[in-house]
Amino acid sequence: MKIFLAGGAGYIGCHTALQLLNNGYEVVIADNFSNSCPEAVKRVEALTGKKIALYEIDVQDGAKVKEVFAQEQPDAVIHFAGLKAVGESVQQPIRYYRNNINTTLSLLEAMEATGVKKIIFSSSATVYGEENPSPYKENMPKGSCTNPYGWTKSMMEQIFQDVALTDPELSIVILRYFNPIGAHESGEIGEDPKGIPNNLMPYITQTAVGIREKLTVFGDDYDTPDGTCQRDYIHVMDLADGHVKAVEYLNREQGIDIINLGTGTPYSVLELVNAFQKVNDMKVNYVIGTRRAGDLPVCYADASKAARVLGWKAKRGLEDMCRDSWNWQRKNPQGYRK
């Protein structure tokens, strides 16, 4: 079975490509490298000993996507291609809406034109919004988002719901990711953010490796056990395995379904920092700062539906996440740029 990964050179895409290849699937990647580079794909090929058909295209370009579909005849699509920096989306909402929504529409049009019926979409826990209490369950109504990035995910979910009604043969799985961190255990592939990281783990690893002077913990006065925010951190390799299970599910069922990919266990910022220090036997320079606008105190999944429907559960713990994130950063202090 051949899977087309839109945005497959990125952080989650390349780990998923690796696990798909390891499970006997063929992989085609289309990426414009706006937030990634071809080196990640080369490393996946080296790790697996298998070839990936790689196309450098903008997935917004429907004609090009249709050409690749005609050439490769994929059986299913995974849609990772999107812009994802929350702060940037507030500064550049038009660019975010255009890129994220257009990539989705051009993939759906190409599927319609070529008879591809199966797609997995990368959504986010952010769509639960502020109104719902954790643990988040898939049957809760979506909430209101605090930024354009989140709204693009919410709107794209609605697009998939509407399209699902038009064709009973379609099989659509919306995966709502929680907080992916970690890297493949080889340290050959991992998260390589451009510029100053927004997310916690890359900020920790860049501080540990000396690129950043210190980590600022955004607030210790929340109503949580240690006062810092709690999140559902999930190892990116567990997330990749979740996609392999979701592809199997696409083959079993038609219609549309929404599934959380999280561990169901929240950890605080300080718990993550302490686990990182302990497992890697090092100090991370940090200070306590003020709250970051838009942060929720607590966000974690009810992970029971993924277990029930996909037969998937996260296997790797916080220590694995901290060890593997550091192994990647230590081996690649400048990311893929060497």
Nearer to ligand UD1, 214 or 315 (CB): 214
Looking at beta carbons only, is 103 or 329 nearer to ligand NAD? 103
Piece in contact with ligand NAD (CB under 6 A), picked from 8-16, 47-55, 282-290, 322-330: 8-16
Choosing from 36, 205, 228, 268, the residue that interacts with ligand NAD (CB under 6 A) is: 36
Strands (E), 60-160: 76-79, 118-124
End-to-end CA distance of the chain: 34
Total residues at the site for ligand UD1 (CB under 6 A)? 21
Minimum distance of ligand UD1 from residue 249's CB (angstroms): 23
With CB under 5 to 8 Å by kind, the binding choice for 89 among ligand NAD, ligand UD1, none is: none
| Tokens matching residue 338 | 């060497």
User: In this structure, what token pair is assigned to residue 38?
Assistant: 């071809």
Alpha-carbon dihedral sign for residues 172, 178, 181, 184: negative
| 103 forms part of the interface with ligand NAD (CB under 6 A) | yes
Question: How far out from the chain centre does Cα 12 lie?
Answer: 5
Interface pick for ligand NAD out of 84, 184, 212, 243 (rule CB under 6 A) = 84
Q: Which of 21, 81, 306, 318 binds ligand NAD (CB under 6 A)?
A: 81
Binding to ligand UD1 by CB under 6 A, coded x per residue (else -) over 71-90, reads -------------x-x----
Using CA atoms of 85, 52, 75, 242 in order, give the dihedral in degrees to the nearest 10: -50
Beta-strand runs (E) in the chain: 2-6, 26-31, 53-56, 76-79, 118-124, 171-177, 179-181, 215-218, 230-231, 233-235, 255-261, 267-268, 286-289, 298-299
224 touches ligand UD1 (CB under 6 A): no
263 is a contact residue toward ligand NAD (CB under 6 A): no
Considering the complex, state which of residue 74 and residue 335 has its C-beta at the smaller distance from ligand UD1: 335
Catalytic residue among 149, 177, 222, 300: 149
Does 142 engage in binding with ligand NAD (CB under 6 A)? no
Cα–Cα distance measured from residue 148 to residue 154, given in angstroms and rounded to the nearest whole number = 10
Tell me the residue number closest to ligand UD1, measured at CB: 229
What residues contact residue 258 under an 8 Å CB cut-off, 6+ apart? 123, 138, 157, 173, 174, 176
Identified binder of ligand NAD from the candidate list 60, 104, 154, 228, rule CB under 6 A: 60
Is 96 a catalytic site residue? no
CA atoms within 13 A on the CB side of 28: 18
CA-to-CA distance for 310 and 243, rounded, in angstroms?
A: 9
The answer to whether 235 and 320 are in contact (CB under 8 A) is yes
Minimal distance, residue 320 CB to ligand UD1, in Å: 18
Residue 146 CB, shortest distance to ligand UD1, in Å, is 6
Which residue numbers are catalytic?
149
Question: In the complex, which residues of this chain contact ligand NAD (CB under 6 A)?
Answer: 7, 9-13, 31-36, 58-60, 80-84, 99, 103, 122, 124, 177, 179-180
